[in-house]
């Protein structure tokens, strides 16, 4: 909603009931209600819109995800062979960011609920450039776990967005580099 709107309130009544798109309609309704109830009616207009920031803008890094979730970075890679630390660190970051995005989207994945679609990014290797986010898939009707249940989303669009926005982390996880 990007345009101004008007609401009518009647003193002592359970109003408003309708949002009006112009002042004239709201004033006409206010007059009608004032006459009907024999009470004061008020027309209130919106002065500004506060639109919530999209989660992919609000949480666009691992540090933002930790802050959004109210956590500290407590990753410990003790005992992990050096050649796997980068991949596991990338996976930890992807899981944390995905958790923040899903919290904002009110998605709590329930793998016992086959009616709840859980979308995840699907990647293809493109030459020496690494993997690219090529598609999405959902796990609700599949028995196979292609990439892991911790990295699923409520819509195909969200999964694609996540796959593309964090492709560097995905490549750190999927490739030896």
pLDDT, position 135:
65
Judged by average pLDDT, the poorest of 5-9, 11-15, 34-38 is 11-15
State the distance between the two ends of the chain, measured CA to CA, in whole angstroms: 46
Q: Which two tokens stand for residue 134?
A: 């090529």
* Cβ count within 10 A of residue 33: 20
- pLDDT of 127: 78
- For the chain, give the mean pLDDT: 83
pLDDT in tens, 135-161: 676 654 444 444 456 788 988 889 999
Q: Beta strand pairing status for 41-45 and 131-138?
A: unpaired
Helices (H) and strands (E) in the chain, counts: 6, 5
The model's pLDDT over 81-109, given as tens digits with 9 standing for 90+, comes to 989 999 999 999 999 999 999 999 888 88
Residue 2 has pLDDT above 70, yes or no: no
Give tens-digit pLDDT for 102-134: 999 888 888 888 888 888 888 888 777 677 776
- Between CA 95 and CA 150 the distance in angstroms is 6
> CA 49 to CA 59: how far, in whole Å?
22
Contact of 31 with 10, CB cutoff 8 Å: no
Nearest to 123 by CA among 60, 170, 69: 170
Contact 98, 64 (CB under 8 A): no
pLDDT of 113:
82
**Does a cis peptide bond (omega within 30 degrees of 0) precede residue 16?**
yes
């Amino acid at each position: 909603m990007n345009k101004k709107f008007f609401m009518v309130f009647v003193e002592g009544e359970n109003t408003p009931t309708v949002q009006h798109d112009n002042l004239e309609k709201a004033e006409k309704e206010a007059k009608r209600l004032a006459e009907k109830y024999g009470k004061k009616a008020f027309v209130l207009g919106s002065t500004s819109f506060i639109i919530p920031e999209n989660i992919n803008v609000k949480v666009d890094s691992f540090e933002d995800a930790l802050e959004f979730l109210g956590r500290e970075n407590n990753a410990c890679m003790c005992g992990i062979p050096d050649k796997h630390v980068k991949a596991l660190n990338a996976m930890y970051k992807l899981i944390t960011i995905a958790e923040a995005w899903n919290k904002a989207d009110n998605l709590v994945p329930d793998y016992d609920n086959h009616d709840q679609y859980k979308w995840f990014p699907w990647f293809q290797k493109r030459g020496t450039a690494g993997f690219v986010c090529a598609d999405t898939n959902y796990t609700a009707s599949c028995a196979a776990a292609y990439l892991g249940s911790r990295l699923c989303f409520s819509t195909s669009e969200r999964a694609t967005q996540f796959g593309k926005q964090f492709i560097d982390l995905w490549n750190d996880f999927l490739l030896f580099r």
